[in-house]
Amino acid sequence: NLLRFKQWLPQAFVKKVFLPVPNPETKFYYGALKKAESIQFKLAPSLLTTHDIYYSLYSRECFPLDWYKITEGEHRTSASDQKSIYIVRIHPKFERNALFENSWVKIAVV
């Protein structure tokens, strides 16, 4: 429920409770899925050149269900067969301080 209602909770609280201790260069996107929902990605071509993007799907009990590297600008995951949570990790390929713009990442639950 924490991720379902994250828009009404302080962002710092949600991040502290949900995310692992991150590498400072890694950007995280995360949320919850209902059964039959999927994630639609629209990523800028420049992001794919400079960063690695990893998608992970977990059961509500935090067991891994699916995980893989995203290598295309437009991608849609398979529909979830149960309530689940997702994490997207975006990490620089080469330079620790590689340019990153939040506008390069569009992630939607569909």
Query: Which CATH number is 81's domain given?
Result: 2.60.120
Q: Greater confidence, 23 or 76?
A: 76
Alpha helices in 1-110 (DSSP H): 11-18, 45-50
For 21-27, what is the mean pLDDT?
Answer: 77
pLDDT of residue 16: 67
Residue 36 maps to a domain: yes
Residue 74 maps to a domain: yes
Distance in angstroms (rounded) separating the CA atoms of residues 27 and 63: 22
Residue 47 maps to a domain: yes
Residue 4 maps to a domain: no
Domain of residue 74: give its range. Answer: 21-109
Residue 58 maps to a domain: yes
Residue 95 maps to a domain: yes
Residue 101 maps to a domain: yes
**Are the C-beta atoms of 86 and 110 separated by less than 8 Å?**
no
Residue 89 maps to a domain: yes
pLDDT of residue 23: 72
The predicted model scores a pTM of 0.79
- Give how many domains the chain has, as a whole number: 1
- Is it the case that residue 13 has pLDDT exceeding 80? no
**Residue pLDDT, tens place only, 36-94:** 999 999 999 999 999 999 999 999 888 999 999 999 999 999 999 999 999 999 999 98
